[in-house]
Amino acid sequence: MPVQTLKWQDDALILLDQTRLPQELVYETCRDVETVAQAIEVLMVRGAPAIGLAAAYGVVVGALAAKDDEPAEFQRRVKTDIDRLARTRPTAVNLFWALDQMGAVLADHASADNPTACAALLATADRLFAEDQQICRQIGRNGAELLRDGGQIITHCNAGGLATADYGTALGVVYAAQETGKQVAVFADETRPLLQGSRLTAWELMQSGVDVKVICDNMAASVLRREKIDCCIVGADRIAGNGDVANKIGTYGLAVLAREHGVPFYVAAPVSTLDISLATGDQIPIEERSAAEIRAGMGQPTAPDEVPVYNPAFDVTPCDLVTAIISEKGVARAPYAPTLRTWVES
């Protein structure tokens, strides 16, 4: 992709500060775990796969800081770092998936010397990064078959290269279709209140030469009615065992509108986003964010200073509104539970 979201360089995690896009292209260097944790919390890095990768490298940052400690203290400190990173955001299951793998490597090296443990942790983070690149490419190839040449889609939030190691999930489908010679146009929901669609998706698609128009979230119904929309494609932060999908707030409303207008609604996500331990989406924890994001959106007053605010970061789209789930393992259609379980267990 034209711009890299995160990278490991000189024993530090380098993050593209997505809070400053599209006005500024700035990279921040994270050399301690608290800096990584705060970067996740303030959405400097965001998108379920990218959050997981940032946390994995955050564990390496912590391990390197503790490298000269006694082995028992090294293990204790890195476990504490893993716990801190796990408290950053509750909804995106990729965070916990990545941290579980890092924790397992740490445990496997409990009797090893610290430099060996550090090297193993870095190798695991690097592997997760490389796998995410390959997975996103495969998701794109699997989903591109669902798009026609000249098609138009609507997407919500940002599920592109900025949300992953490279290429993206929902936008990966667009990129893959484009690479096969198909011309695809995108309507990008602005995605209130932090405008990930207008700030990030539109910018990213323009960088890649994809035809894109930004629409306000409340224009989606009119666009679905007036334009020839082939499908909606979104990413996901957690998918329950029955196929219910947690994604950025507003996704549920878009799915309802798509059903009303007879437009397919696709979800593109890696298998690491599946949480088959949860029977339905009702069990998915939903993060509620600061009232300031709505009272003073993008730094400008947009509501009375003291007005109460309800600001969930995500909603859950019931599986009966989802036409198909696209992963690196293929394309699943209802009933989802058997296929999702097969994907996780294979």
**Residue count of the chain:** 346
CA dist., res. 132 & res. 47, Å (int): 13
The separation between the first and the last C-alpha atoms of the chain, rounded to the nearest angstrom, is 30
Residue 17: half-sphere exposure toward Cβ, Cα within 13 Å: 12
CB atoms within 10 A of CB 193: 21
CB atoms within 10 A of CB 19: 17
Please name the residue that has the structure tokens 């599986």. Answer: 319
The catalytically annotated residue of 81, 189, 237, 244 is 237
CB atoms within 10 A of CB 297: 15
CA dist., res. 13 & res. 32, Å (int): 9
- CA dihedral of residues 282, 314, 55, 93 (deg, nearest 10): 20
CA dist., res. 339 & res. 334, Å (int): 9
236 three-class SS = coil
Active site residue 237: yes
CA dist., res. 227 & res. 158, Å (int): 22
154, 224 in Cβ contact below 8 A?
A: yes
311 three-class SS = coil
Could you give the residue numbers annotated as active site? 237
